[in-house]
Amino acid sequence: MDNDQTLKAVPEPSSLKRASGSSKRAAARIISELCTGCRICVQTCPIQCITIVESELNYNGIAQIDQRCTGCNICAIDCPWDGVVMVNPDGSRKSAAEYERQLKRLRGYQ
Ligand code: SF4
Ligand code: SF4
């Protein structure tokens, strides 16, 4: 099995693929190595699309995001361990400035 086949055979648990496959919004992705399984994002996600799954990386398990993610950013803002990043459809990550703007909107500062 070559490297490409290995990658295809082991999909990321927090896959960004959506049912429609055509979203123009960013979507949340879990950084497995940073996730502590603290469950804060599970509690704050407004559509309950995050669950904790067993993982060899962490006794508490790690977060997993399903395809319903709307890209609202709340989990990325609330994660105390930087365990969530927002990824744009082109694969780039949202910038710190974008997070800041979203945080202000969510918290009602502007
Ligand atoms: S808030 Fe962060 S560290 Fe806690 S479970 Fe969610 S992604 Fe993991
Ligand atoms: S970006 Fe929003 S909808 Fe998507 S997993 Fe995070 S809190 Fe839930």
| Top-tier CATH class for 23-107 | alpha beta
pLDDT at 54: 96
Q: How far is the CA of 75 from the centre of ligand 2 (A)?
A: 6
- Which residues does a 6 A CB cutoff place in the pocket of ligand 1? 30, 35-41, 63, 79, 81, 83-84
Q: Which of 30, 40, 47 is the best mutation target for the ligand 2 pocket, counting ligand atoms within 8 Å of the beta carbon and taking the most?
A: 47
Give which of 80, 107, 82 is closest to 28, Cα–Cα. 82
Give which of 16, 77, 69, 79 is closest to 47, Cα–Cα. 69
**88-109 tens-digit pLDDT:** 999 999 887 887 787 787 777 6
CB 93 within 8 A of CB 86: yes
**48-67 tens-digit pLDDT:** 999 999 999 999 999 999 99
User: Closest ligand 1 atom, CA of 75?
Assistant: 1
